[in-house]
Amino acid sequence: MDALWQLPVIEGPVPSIVYAVGIVLVAVLLFRRVTPRWLLTAVLGIGLGALVGFGIFFLANVSGAFGDALPPEVGVWATIAFAGIGLAVVSLWSSPVWRKIVAAFAILWFAIVGMIGVNAFYGLNPTLGSIFGVSSDNPIAIPTPNPSTTASGPLYASWTPPSGMPQKGSQGTQVIPGTVSGFNARPAGLYLPPAAQVQGAPALPLVILMMGYPGNPDPSYIGAVLDDFAAKNKGLAPIVIVADQIGTVGDPACADSSAFGNAETYIKTDVVNWAKKNLNIIEDPKYWVIAGYSNGGGCAIKYGAQQPDVFKNILDISGEEFPGSEDVASVTAQIYGGDSAKFEASKPINIMAAAPAGTYAGVTAVFTVGGNDPGFQPAQQAVSAAASKAGMTVTSYTVPGAGHVVDGLNGGLQEGFTVLYPVLGLSAP
């Protein structure tokens, strides 16, 4: 079953096959004896289906059902998919049994076409399992921690890679139990850079990364970026835990609650404790990064603002201004028991404003957003300004031409580690 969930649905032959079968099904459904009645029926089916698809897209944006507005590309795929479904539905009438079977199959297939198309546009769910939020099991061997191998001075100067060191990092999954929180998290993603995979490996910096909602703890994106950095820096990169701050119930909004579980305690306590016990990492907070994308970005700045003694570095990629910003009323009611004061106190900007002077001395924070991501640009500007005012060393960066999709994520990771590599001692200042 894991092989099925790991099936790639962005790269490789799967998208092309899905689209090609869809085109064949359209041709089969249209290829029949042409009569004025059938022409009218087919046009009505296609037109009404397209109208339904576009209408769903339009209403979703008007109502804010998905938080921020869906991009036009989603509307295009919804229109195409429902146009095909409309053709399939009208093909069920006045047709032989074999054509009815084809039409019934086509209804399901056109829905798959739309799903694959939308997913390919966002580019954030690379496998079949990730689309449905299923984490396939891919355990990774973890080297035994050996802190005594840590050399004095920055790693870029003190580390000499041995011969035979892998050229790329390794990626896999790791179950991190909710020992204290009781949180029902999906298996975390784990990235071990080349320098972590050799005898006498140095203790390395740690990144705890959280992805968006909906989303998956997938290490492939950050792994690809860090492999490029490692190739230029003696195989050095942080060890990365892509932790699941979402769980299996709904969006916990980076908090503890009876409704969605203790997500905050899970990340800040269970994941942190597991990392210290199991990974060959530098335990000085100066070398720890709390990072996130979108929903995870909101979590990252919240946790970083709360615990600068644990996380001296923050990377917020296309993050929300505050967790729960997409549905304030529901979050206030479900997670904070209707206590709006508690909700206000949980917002990163308010946490930073309430902190005593000097709290964030030595904290480095990087905030990025796509140049074509207007829904998240105000949040990036507001939070980065608040972080700077609170005393953090701030980099605010706009990824040229990027939206709230994979180009924004990759561009944010690239800029983030360009800033953070020298801070973490992985490259020269």
What pLDDT is recorded for position 216? 86
Within 10 A of 212 (CB to CB), how many other CB atoms are there? 22
| Structural domain ending residue among the three candidates 64, 93, 122 | 122
Residue 131 lies in a domain: no
In terms of domains, do 331 and 409 share one?
yes
What pLDDT is recorded for position 11? 74
In terms of domains, do 51 and 86 share one?
yes
Residue 130 lies in a domain: no
Domains held by the chain: number: 2
CATH number of the structural domain spanning residue 314:
3.40.50.1820
What pLDDT is recorded for position 146? 64
CA atoms within 13 A on the CB side of 184: 9
Q: Which residues of the chain fall below pLDDT 50?
A: 148-150
| Structural domain ending residue among the three candidates 61, 89, 122 | 122
What pLDDT is recorded for position 144? 72
In terms of domains, do 164 and 72 share one?
no
Residue 224 lies in a domain: yes
Residue 316 lies in a domain: yes
In terms of domains, do 95 and 172 share one?
no
Cβ-based burial of 329 (10 A; exposed 0-12, middle 13-18, buried ≥19): exposed
In terms of domains, do 114 and 195 share one?
no
In terms of domains, do 304 and 411 share one?
yes
In terms of domains, do 89 and 185 share one?
no
In terms of domains, do 410 and 319 share one?
yes
Residue 157 lies in a domain: yes
- Tokens coding 402: 């990027």
In terms of domains, do 72 and 142 share one?
no
Is residue 173 within 8 Å of residue 205, measured between CB atoms?
Answer: no
pTM for this entry: 0.83
In terms of domains, do 118 and 142 share one?
no
| Structural domain ending residue among the three candidates 68, 99, 122 | 122
Q: Which domain holds residue 21?
A: 2-122
Is residue 195 within 8 Å of residue 227, measured between CB atoms?
Answer: no
* Residue of 68, 82, 132 lying closest to 405 (CA atoms): 68
**Roughly what angle, to the nearest 10 degrees, separates helices 72-90 and 97-122?**
180
Residue 312 lies in a domain: yes
Residue 407 lies in a domain: yes
DSSP letter string, 61-81: HHHTTTSSPPPHHHHHHHHHH
pLDDT in tens, 58-88: 888 777 666 566 788 889 999 999 999 999 9
Residue 262 lies in a domain: yes
What pLDDT is recorded for position 177? 96
pLDDT in tens, 274-301: 999 999 999 999 999 999 999 999 999 9
In terms of domains, do 142 and 204 share one?
yes
What pLDDT is recorded for position 148? 45
In terms of domains, do 257 and 339 share one?
yes
